[in-house]
Chains A and B, each alone.
Chain A
Amino acid sequence: MIAMLTIARLELLIVRRNMWMALSAVLMLLFAIVLTIAGSASAGALGVDRLTVAVTSLTTLSVYLVPLIALLLSFDAIVGEVERGTLALSLSYPVSRAAFLGGKFVAHVLTLAVALGIGLGAAGGLSAWLGSVSTAGLLSLAVLYGSAVLLGATFLGFGYAVSGLVRQVGAAAALSIGLWLVGIVLYDLALLGALVADKGGVFTTHVFPWLLAANPADAFRIVNLAGSEAASLASGLAANGDGFPMLAPRLAIFIWPAIVLAGAWTLFRRIEP
C-alpha cells in the first residue's frame, strides 16, 4: 500500500512536471465555460434550467474528451518505461506489479478527477452566477462527474492494456488513437447504420439497447442523458429512451473499469523488461 502511494506520488510529480495535469484542466475548463454560456441560449426556450442544459452538452463533450485524455495519460505507462529502460530497475525494487500499476492508476485517475472537477465545477459555478440552478441540475452534474471519472478509469485501463501489449511507444500511441476512434466514434456510427437498415425490427428493440450498454462510452451517455427527463428532452434521446434496460448501463460504468484494469494487469504480468 505504501509502495503504491509512493509510485502514485512520483507519477503525480511527473504529470505536473510534463504539464499533463495543467493541460487537461485547462481543456476541461475552456469547454465547460463555452458550453455553459452557449447552452444558455436554448435554456429559456425549453423551460429547463441553464445547468441542466449545460450538463447535456458537457456529457456529449466528455464522451469524446475524457477517453482521449485518459488514453494520452496512460498509453506509455508501461511501454514507455520499457523503452526508456527504467522498468527493469523499478521492478527490482520490493514492489508488486499490481502496486506498480495501481500507483500509476491512482495518480492518473486523480489527474482526471482534478481536471473534471475544475471543468464541471466551473460549469456549475457559472450557471449559478448567471442565475438558474435547480437541485435536479446539481444532481445530474454530480452524476456526470462520477460517471466521467469512471469512464476515464476505464480508458486509463485500456491505455495500460495497450501499453502492455506492444513493444514500441509509437505503436502504443497509434493503437490508442485507433481504439478511441473505433470505440467512441465508429461504434456509434455502425449502430446508427444498423438502426437505419433495421427499420424498427428485432435489432432495434432487442439487440440495440444491449449493444449500447455494452460500450462504456455509450453506457456513460445513457446514464447521464436518459436518466434525467429534462436532459432527455433537451438532447432528443427521449424517443429511444423508453423501455431501456437502465440497470445494464449503470452496472456497465462500474464493471468496465474493473474488467479493463484486471486485463491490463494480466498483460503487464507477462512483460519481461
Chain B
Amino acid sequence: MTVLSIDGAVKRRGDRQTIKDVSLTVQAGERVALLGHNGAGKTTLIQMILGLTAIDGGHITVAGHRPGSIEARRRTAFLPENVAFHRALTGKEQLRHFARLRGQPPSRADDLLERVGLADDADRRIATYSKGMGQRLGLAQALLAPPGLALLDEPTSGLDPIARWQFYALVEELAAAGGAVLLSSHALTELEARTDRIAILRAGSLVADGSLDALRRLAQLPIRLRIAARQQGTEALVAKIGGRPINGRAVELICSSDEKLERLAAVSAVRHLVEDVEIIPPGLDELYRHFSAAAEQPQ
C-alpha cells in the first residue's frame, strides 16, 4: 500500500525552482533514506509533505489525503531537524501535551519517555536537557503517532552511538508495524543496513531512487579486493597479481564488478601467498558522491 505518493512535485521560490519535478513513493513498511547536501531541498520537500508550504506543481498525497489536511496530519509523525520545545516545560509535560493532541492517554507519553531513556529526567525542565536528550524527546513524540507516515529529518544528529542503535531499532519496529518511514541523514554509513531504499536529492532534483544494490549496479563503481599477504610480504603478491600494496601487509586491487570473478581466480592461483581476501563493495558514501557529482554534468 502506498502511504506517501509524490508525483512531479514542484516548489518555486521567486523564479528559481527549489524542488524540480520530484516523484517518489513510500510504501507501508518501507524505510526510505533521503540524502542530499545542505540546500538540496530535503527540508523543503518534507515541508511540502507536511503541508507547511504550498506546492507549486504536481501532486502529493499522504494515505490518499491532501498534505496538511487534518486526516493527513493525523497519520503523520514528524521529527524536525534541530527539534526544539518550550524551555519552561518539563519533558513529561511536553510529551503528555503531544499525547493529548493525538488523542492518546497521558500514560502513553510516560511509557515512551521510558522507551527513549528519559524516564529519570522526565520532571526536569527541557531547558536543562542536552542536545541528545532533546533529540530523544523528539523521537518520543514522533512515536506517539499511529504507524502511518514518519518523516524524520536528521533524526540521529546529536545522538551517541548507543542511542543511534536504539533509534534504528525503533525505526525498524515502526516499519514492521506498517509505518512508511522517510528519513534524511548525513550519516551515510549507518543507513546502509537500515533502509530499504535510497533517494538522492541534488539541487532540487531526484538523481537516484532505488535499493542500495540497484544503485550500485547503476553506478558501476569499482569494487575493491583487499588481499592480506602471508609472511613472504606483499612484493611477491604484487608481482603475481598486480595491484597496490598498502601498509606492507596487504594488497588492494580495484576492479569492476564484471572482472571480479576473474581477479579472484587469479588470487586463488597464488593462494600459498594469501592469508585472507576481503571484498569491499562501494559504500553509500561513494555512491552518494557519484550520483551527486554525476548530476552536475548534463546527462
Contact = CB atoms under 8 A, between A and B. Distances in A.
Interface in B108-149: 138, 141
19 contacts: A6-B97, A6-B100, A9-B100, A13-B93, A84-B84, A85-B80, A85-B83, A88-B52, A89-B78, A91-B52, A92-B76, A92-B80, A93-B73, A94-B74, A95-B73, A96-B70, A272-B52, A272-B54, A273-B52
A94 B68 CA distance: 9
B78 A86 contact: no
Given A89-B80, A93-B98, A17 B50 contact: no
A85 B83 CA distance: 7
Nearest to B151: A92
B82 interface: yes
Contacts of A272: 47, 52-54
B165 interface: no
Nearest to A88: B80
A273 B83 CA distance: 13
Which 5 A-B residue pairs are closest in the complex by CB-CB distance? A92-B78, A85-B84, A94-B74, A94-B73, A6-B100
Contacts of A2: 100, 103
Most buried by A among B76, B82, B100: B100
Interface in A74-97: 84-86, 88-89, 91-96
A182 interface: no
Contact of A18 (B53, B82, B88, B151): B88
A10 B73 contact: no
A94 B62 CA distance: 13
A14 B125 CA distance: 12
A74 to B, nearest CB: 16
B170 to A, nearest CB: 18
Interface of A: 2-3, 6-7, 9-10, 13-14, 17-18, 84-86, 88-89, 91-96, 272-273
Nearest to A271: B52
B83 A89 contact: yes
B101 interface: yes
User: A-side binding surface: helix, strand, loop or mixed?
Assistant: helix
Contact of B102 (A14, A17, A93): A93
Nearest to B54: A272
Contact of B50 (A3, A7, A85, A88): A88
Contacts of B236: none
B101 A95 contact: yes
A248 B132 CA distance: 57
A98 to B, nearest CB: 12
A130 B247 CA distance: 97
B52 A3 contact: no
A272 B13 CA distance: 13
Contacts of A84: 84, 86-87
A2 B100 CA distance: 9
A93 B151 CA distance: 13
A13 B84 CA distance: 18
Contacts of A10: 86, 89, 93, 97
Nearest to B84: A85
A95 B82 CA distance: 22
Nearest to B97: A10
A94 B47 contact: no
Contacts of B50: 88, 91-92
Contacts of A9: 97, 100
Given A17-B89, A86-B86, A6 B141 contact: no
A107 to B, nearest CB: 12
Nearest to B78: A92
A95 B97 CA distance: 12
A7 to B, nearest CB: 8
Nearest to A15: B88
B73 A86 contact: no
A251 B111 CA distance: 52
Nearest to A272: B53
A96 B102 CA distance: 13
A37 B74 CA distance: 56
B82 A85 contact: yes
